[in-house]
Structure 1
């Protein structure tokens, strides 16, 4: 689809963005809306979702735990019933956990897999019939630690490695149907994810400082910088790119 007269390449298209209440998800929802798309922002907390929706009139919201029974079907049907189509599924919602092997807890592992691997899989399954009709895209969010070791975070890294392998496998499976599947793997990005993982603000800032020193560009990315790459991977002009994992980490993966 070509851009409209205002240069908005996603005009008339529909995107679902999970984890849209904050961070990269919020920035991605806003970026798609500014590019002309109708956006369904999904997340567990209604308050933060309303803040996201207030950033652009093109964003509608759905407060729902995507790990709940029947949630993926509800998310997809809500978008399709509202706008009559679905063009892009952005599997952004995820969780991290700082959990050394000595402290490994079964429920933490199960919860990580449920949110980071199972929920995106079921959302993609539900979205598939609609993406076939629009030659749509699936964009998964991984991490630089999806393909680098992470001491103290093995299970989080393992879920992101799974996301990257699902991306490649789905891309190969669906290429003949015109559906593209790609992945953006952020490096350290300034969001509230560390706080949700249980770190204090001071500990999170210490970690950002540590990471900044290690990153070749000495830069901690913003959520908006990551949203830029999500939008680029979904752009109709990039229809020949599929099965790609684009790492955006200031060169961290190179060391």
Structure 2
């Protein structure tokens, strides 16, 4: 007999929830019965859907305190508060560490570390009143060398440290956990590694034999937001299919096999 997660009556905010992993998370939460709000800096072509319902969208840059306050205030006015915040907004284009500008590195850290801290800070009073939870979307890059993504990987490692600290500061009213995502089948991965990368040599080294789907991360979020995880806080849940091959090691191995 399966276990069904019911988040009916819960109100969730998924930052960066209009595409990729964020949209997958929003869709799963909708199917679980939650009221879901998503935000991004630009309006999407289509909104996440699930369970016959559609996510509510607001334009917001989560690096801007005034925009974050306005967003959280609007959710509170509509629904009385928040039960779940998923800090998903993030990412970084590849860049050579030795030549990338200080401004580039600062922007990457701002989006992937400081923005989630800002959102948590502003959402804390409402989450506390409703006994809510926070989920940080981290990366497997936080746990291994990440050439061309130094600032991003360092920011994600910092995000996991922030998770553990906030879990202590927000307890016992609010739980704070993180999900470290490995190689996933998204437009971002396709843009960086090539359209077929997620189904080629990169994926063959994953023990479960495939990259993550956005919904895999969404299911992990639904679990962490549910009563099934009511005794979990300060944890980092790895959603990487058992571990991913390092992309640079994979490339070097392919080049070695190709030599005459």
| TM-score, length basis structure 1 | 0.87
**Alignment match, 1:78:** 74
Equivalent residues, number? 243
Q: Which moved more, 1:36-45 or 1:208-217?
A: 208-217
Report if the CA contact (8 A) 1:42-1:63 is conserved.
yes
Shift of 1:253: 6.0
2:214 to 218, 223, 235: 223
Give the alignment partner of residue 244 of structure 1, picking from 235, 241, 245: 235
RMSD: 2.2
- Does residue 46 (structure 1) correspond to residue 43 (structure 2)? The answer is yes
Runs (4+) of structure 1 exceeding 4 A deviation are: 53-56
Q: Structure 1 residue 161 and structure 2 residue 157: aligned?
A: yes
Aligned match of 1:181 = 176
Cα shift readout 1:5-46 (whole Å, capped 9, x = no counterpart): xx6621111100111111111111111111111111111221
Which has more radius of gyration? 2
Q: Aligned partners of 1:167, 1:32: CA distance in 2, in Å? A: 21
207-216 or 111-120, which deviates more: 207-216
Structure 1 residues 112 and 85, CA, compared in 2 at 3 Å: closer, same or farther?
same
1:1-255 → structure 2 map (5 Å cutoff): 9-48=6-45, 50-52=46-48, 56-176=52-172, 178-194=173-189, 199=192, 203-206=194-197, 209-252=200-243
Secondary structure at the residue paired with 1:95? coil
Gaps of 5+ in 1: 1-6
- How far residue 54 of structure 1 moved from its aligned partner, in angstroms, is 8.3
Contact 1:21 1:45 in 2 (8 A): no
For residue 207 of structure 1, report the CA deviation from its aligned partner: 6.4
Per-residue deviation, 1:55: 7.7
Farther off after superposition, 107-116 or 124-133: 107-116
Normalising by structure 2, we get a TM-score of 0.86
Q: Which range moves more in the overlay, 107-116 or 156-165?
A: 107-116
Compute the displacement of 1:192 (Å).
1.6
Unaligned runs of 5+ in 2: 247-260
CA displacement, residues 178-226 of structure 1 (integer Å, 9 cap, x when unaligned): 210000111000112236xx63xx7353466332133222211110111
